[in-house]
Amino acid sequence: MKTIKYIITPPLALSLFITLVLPSILSAQQVIIAEDLRESAVSKDFGMNRKHFRHAYIGVHFLAGQAEESGADVRYGKSWSFEYGVRYKRKFSEFYSVGGELFTRRLAIWPEQIEGKMIPGPDIYDDEKLVYLQLGGGLYHRINVGERGNYIGRFFDTGAYAAWNFHVRHVYFKEQDDAYLRVRRTGMSFPALFEYGVLARLGFNNIVLKASYRLSDTFRSSAELPDIPRLHFGVEVGLHSM
Amino acid sequence: MDKNGSSFLVIFMLSAISFMAVSATASEKHHAYWVVFTDKDHVVFDPYEYFDQRAIDRRLRHGICLYQESNFPVRQDYIDSVSFYVYEADVVSRWMNAVHVYSRPSKVHQIASLGFVKEVIPASVRLMLASSPGQWIPGFLFGDPDTTLLKAQLKHMGVQRFHQQGFNGEGVRIALFDAGFSGVDSHEAFQHIREEGRIKATWDFHREREHVYAYSVHGTMVLSVLAGKAGDIPMGAATGADFLLARTEIFREPLVEEKYWLAAVEWADQHGADIINSSLGYVYHRYFPEQMDGQTSLVARAANMAASKGILIVNAAGNEGANEQWRVVVTPSDADSVLTVGALDYPSMVRASYSSVGPTADGRLKPNVSALGKVSAAGRRGYLTTTGTSFASPLVAGFAACLWQMYPTMSNMDIFRAIERSAHLFPYFDYGHGYGTPQSTFFLLDHSMPAAPTLDIISDTDHVSIVLRTDITAENIEYQADLTGNNYLYYHISDAGGQILAYYVIKMEDSNVIRKEKSIFEKGQQLLVHYKGYTTAMQF
Average pLDDT over residues A185-192: 93
Distance (Å) from the alpha carbon of A185 to chain B's nearest alpha carbon: 31
The radius of gyration of chain A from alpha carbons, rounded to an integer in Å, stands at 29
* B235-255 as b/e: b if 16+ CB within 10 A: bbbbbbbbbbbbbbbbeeeee
Spatial contact of A213 and A34, defined as CB atoms under 8 Å apart: no
- CATH numbers and ranges of domains, chain B: 25-122 (no CATH), 171-424+432-443 (3.40.50.200), 445-539 (2.60.40)
What pLDDT, on a 0 to 100 scale, did the predictor assign at position A4? 40
Residue B25, pLDDT > 70, answer: no
Residue A153 has a pLDDT of 86
B17/A242 Cα distance (integer angstroms): 27
Contact A42 B502 (CB under 8 A): no
Contact A163, A134 (CB under 8 A): yes
A148 interfacial to chain B (CB closer than 8 Å): yes
Q: Is the ipTM of this complex over 0.95?
A: no
Q: Do A32 and B431 touch (CB under 8 A)?
A: no
Say yes or no for a CB contact (<8 Å) between B289 and A150: yes
Q: Distance (Å, rounded) from C-alpha B494 to C-alpha B491?
A: 10
Buried b (16+ CB within 10 A) or exposed e, A70-84: ebbbbbeeebbbebe
pLDDT in tens, A87-121: 999 999 989 999 999 999 999 999 999 999 999 99
Domains, chain A: 41-239 (2.40.160)
Helices (H), A8-110: 10-16, 22-26
* pLDDT at residue number B190: 97
> Which residue of B283, B327, B502 is in closest CB contact with A38?
B502
Predicted pLDDT at A1: 35
CA dihedral B228, B232, B233, B237 (to 10 degrees): 50
Range scoring the smallest mean pLDDT among A65-79, B185-199, B226-240, B359-373: A65-79
At A25 the pLDDT is: 45
Task: Please list every residue in chain A whose beta carbon sits closer than 8 Å to the beta carbon of residue B15.
Answer: 156, 200, 202, 211
A35 touching B (Cβ < 8 Å)? yes
The whole-number pLDDT of residue B485 equals 66
Cα atoms found within 13 Å of the Cα of residue B14, Cβ hemisphere only = 7
Query: Which residues, numbered 432 to 461 in chain B, qualify as contacts with chain A under a Cβ-Cβ cut-off of 8 Å?
Result: 432
Model confidence over B517-537: pLDDT tens digits? 888 888 899 999 999 888 999
CA distance B447 to B459: 30
What pLDDT was estimated at residue A24? 45
B348 touches chain A (CB under 8 A): yes
The one-letter code for the residue type at A5 is: K
Q: B297-338 pLDDT, tens per residue?
A: 888 999 999 999 999 999 999 998 988 888 899 999 999 999
How many whole angstroms separate alpha carbon B99 and alpha carbon B24? 24
Identify the pLDDT of residue B182: 93
